[in-house]
Amino acid sequence: MATMLTPKDFATATPSWWCAGCGDYGVLSALKQALAELGKVPKDVAFVSGIGCSGKISGYLHSYAFHGVHGRALPVATAVKLANRDLTVIAAGGDGDGYAIGAGHFLHAVRRNPNMTYIIMDNQTYGLTKGQSSPTSQAGYVTGTSPQGNPDAPINGLAVALAAGGTFLARGFSAQPKLLVDLLKQAILHEGFSLVEVMSPCVTYNKINTYAWFKENTYYVTEKETYDSTNRMHAFEVLNDDGKLPLGVIFQEARPTLEALAHLPELPITQVTLDPHSSDLNAIQDAYV
């Protein structure tokens, strides 16, 4: 009889250096709970993260882990999935890692639709480098590098992903763990690219978008009786509304995954011998003569 795992089985011995009260703790806790409830085991999970406070999360989850360079989590995660399709692949990063330096990779990962989950921890500031404005900071946000207020309009990451062909788009709040666990489970089970944006307050630098602010300025799309998460126009409307931020599953649809369309070999790379026979090498050479 298989042993049932618990969230503790996905914990590492590495101590976290996140600030006390950081929203990223809620994301990590929800992710461990979601993986345990889904019956996943650490050896079958590959976790890739980028740079930033949130990028450290791959060191706190017991799984295969890769802590890469700034903005490059998604191409690495896509390669991992293509190399071993049996793995549950999860990528994670912050709003800066995903929507600034990693924006190009973000768009192409969305449109290619690999079967993986991407978690964006959005604190609307660059917490690792002393609180500068990020791609999701509101216009007028005052920081040490923008003392007269942030001059840039914030990016709407979920709306961008929807326009790029996203097949599962959701938003959660790190202070609502049960609902976040449910969103992460749905995202991991979805066949295709799943984006879960989590409102994850920075308690050290962002004194505007606090836990209290998010509680006051968010709502769940399920509160709308006529809302249909399979309706693209409904999703565009709520994502572009100037009012409160929508939480929950914003949009979902079925579309063939990158793996299904890429004409991959039957055996994954992990099962292919790395010591080919000379006849195999000769055949490859002959093909290019």
- Tens of pLDDT along 99-151? 999 999 999 999 999 999 999 999 999 988 888 999 999 999 998 889 999 99
Asked, for residue 115, whether it belongs to a domain, the answer is yes
Q: Return the structure tokens found at 32.
A: 């461990």
pLDDT at 144: 87
Q: Say if CB 108 and CB 88 are below 8 A apart.
A: no
Determine the angle formed by the axes of helices 177-189 and 24-37, rounding to 10 degrees.
50
Q: Which is it for strands 218-220 and 193-199: parallel, antiparallel or unpaired?
A: unpaired
User: DSSP string of 56-119?
Assistant: GGGGSBSSEEEE-STT-HHHHHHHHHHH-TTSEEEEEEEHHIIIIITHHHHHHHHHH--SEEEE
The parts of the chain modelled with pLDDT lower than 70 are 1-2, 274, 276
Asked, for residue 100, whether it belongs to a domain, the answer is yes
pLDDT at 1: 44
Report the distance separating Cα 72 and Cα 263, nearest Å: 24
The sheet with strand 116-122 has its strands ordered as 64-67, 45-49, 88-94, 116-122, 193-199, 168-173, 245-252, 218-220
Report the distance separating Cα 92 and Cα 170, nearest Å: 14
Report the distance separating Cα 33 and Cα 166, nearest Å: 25
Q: Which is it for strands 193-199 and 45-49: parallel, antiparallel or unpaired?
A: unpaired
Which CATH number does the domain housing residue 30 bear?
3.40.50.970
Based on the structure, what is the number of domains in the chain? 1
Asked, for residue 226, whether it belongs to a domain, the answer is yes
pLDDT tens digits, 208-237: 999 999 999 999 999 998 999 999 999 999
pLDDT at 279: 76
Q: Which domain holds residue 171?
A: 17-287
CB atoms within 10 A of CB 171: 26
pLDDT at 152: 93
pLDDT at 115: 98
Residues 6+ apart with CB under 8 A from 74: 48, 91, 98, 102, 105, 106, 108, 109, 118
Asked, for residue 33, whether it belongs to a domain, the answer is yes
Asked, for residue 208, whether it belongs to a domain, the answer is yes
Q: Tell me how many helices (H) and strands (E) the chain has.
A: 10, 8
Asked, for residue 166, whether it belongs to a domain, the answer is yes
